[in-house]
Structure 1
């Protein structure tokens, strides 16, 4: 959520390229999340998943920096925000991974789509952005979708998994705000490098308590998590550099297609009818919030002295 008077963005926009990057990122991240569920079924602890996801990502990050000639750009301009992004990112990653362990893939993905809803709430409460009846209506519509999908009294899904997924969506909204701040001064490789580098020391300490031996299949899954996660993170960040959020954000909803297909292929799990109904409401809510944000940003750019509620 941008501030009420955003700084002008003079970077070149290539919308189709940005959309392609975002779609590729979504495919990579879908593979990563589904593989986390597989790794958990192979006895891998969540902290191990986090550590090896970051460790396996390091070579890919180094290769990306070398090919893009970005070694000279490793020096950060805003280390404080990099550190905050690391803390929030690790917590969010743990919650999102936990959601896919506790819930079926399609349902975990759908609840993750509430991220724009939490973003709107945070923008109103913490950034004091004017938020009108349109966006508050979209927020209520999104939460209605969650209730319809989860059916709290039905016992279809563990409430712990639902709570973890919602907390993960909240943290993802925080990460998105931090990434947009960093993207104004930092390159994609720089952001990914420092997130990976700063997260490994605390995770390494945790491995002293939770690390264990695994079979070859588990090691292969952990490697795939790291590669897919790093590729997705780089593509996700790069997409925001080549296109505005209002264009690339809707591509994220293709995640449900990938996770539903993978869930059906690997576990023979197909979403219930109420999941599709709830997903439609949550996606409609997110898209409407994104559209209102785009309209408000255009108005602010044209008449910066006037505040327009969303």
Structure 2
């Protein structure tokens, strides 16, 4: 999981570097070509594409659309925001997923986790700072990306177990790439420098590596133990943001981040504890 978060943070940094010269849909398209080639090749090696008919699922289509919208909103906002701030707001995702699972999947959520969710959203408000001089409208795009990502993750829980994860990753990457090409006529196409191509290549490799690492982490480890390590992406984002762009998060952003991470980690801890409780045998009837 730490490897996945490091890869995603490097991908974000590369995207932010490139987006100064290239529109967001063009980045989605070019980065998507390289990432899709890698993921399709890996999916083929793993035998994940042998039965393509299994991929014809409404829930997978919904997940793909949600992922496309999450990518568009995040990449569009990243041009105007420090990557540490964007990553800090995005740490609300586990809380939103827990909230969505309770509302739409009827998963049980006790009062402790409801409290953690409420406190976590207070932390998001602290980071976003609505109505103050530090407020950025692009923070709302990151929040939209969080909502779309939560919808994607909830849809993932509903996918049939026989759909290989590598196939899902390849289909998602190809769909994001196609969406980028379809949006290019509305956003324009900029000349691509050789340096930008190198950046896209690094971003594509990091994106594919992140997908692979996160799939392996979620499949081989205890989810309750592994999931909190998602928050390491904020550390990587702060380091990369300072080293590459000279960005230093202010105190308000750090306080809000601490609130969000603390509440999210506690919520994941409670979910882990709930999963460990022994289930009572059903009462016999006569």
Structure 1 and Structure 2 fold alike (TM over 0.5): yes
Partner residue in 1 for 2:235 = 257
1:102 to partner: Cα distance? 2.5
1:258 to partner: Cα distance? 0.8
Which stretch has the larger CA shift, 59-68 or 27-36? 59-68
Q: Is the 8 A contact 1:188 1:234 kept in 2?
A: no
Deviations 1:16-68 (A, max 9, x none): xxxxxx11111110011111111111x21111111122211122113323443
Note the 1:1-310 alignment, pairs <5 A: 22-41=1-20, 43-72=21-50, 75-76=53-54, 79-158=57-136, 160-182=137-159, 184-209=161-186, 210-299=188-277, 302-303=279-280
Gaps of 5+ in 1: 1-21
Secondary structure at 1:76 match in 2: helix
Q: Is the 8 A contact 1:104 1:269 kept in 2?
A: yes
In the superposition, relative to structure 1, how do residues 305 and 117 fare at CA in structure 2: closer, same or farther (>3 Å)?
A: farther
Partner residue in 2 for 1:12 = none
In the superposition, relative to structure 1, how do residues 217 and 163 fare at CA in structure 2: closer, same or farther (>3 Å)?
A: same
Q: Is the 8 A contact 1:73 1:187 kept in 2?
A: no
Aligned residue pair count: 282
User: How many angstroms apart in 2 are the aligned matches of 1:305 and 1:132?
Assistant: 22
1:305 to partner: Cα distance? 5.9
1:79 to partner: Cα distance? 2.7
CA RMSD after TM alignment: 2.3
Q: Is the 8 A contact 1:108 1:165 kept in 2?
A: yes
User: How many angstroms apart in 1 are the aligned matches of 2:282 and 2:145?
Assistant: 36
In the superposition, relative to structure 1, how do residues 110 and 199 fare at CA in structure 2: closer, same or farther (>3 Å)?
A: closer
In the superposition, relative to structure 1, how do residues 204 and 148 fare at CA in structure 2: closer, same or farther (>3 Å)?
A: closer
Deviations 1:62-118 (A, max 9, x none): 332344354535553553222111101010111222332222111111100001221
1:147 to partner: Cα distance? 2.5
Gaps of 5+ in 2: none
TM-score (norm 2): 0.89
Deviations 1:231-258 (A, max 9, x none): 2122222322212321221111110111
User: How many angstroms apart in 2 are the aligned matches of 1:222 and 1:170?
Assistant: 26
Deviations 1:214-271 (A, max 9, x none): 2112222222222211221222223222123212211111101111011101111111
User: How many angstroms apart in 2 are the aligned matches of 1:298 and 1:244?
Assistant: 11
1:178 to partner: Cα distance? 2.4
User: How many angstroms apart in 1 are the aligned matches of 2:135 and 2:204?
Assistant: 28
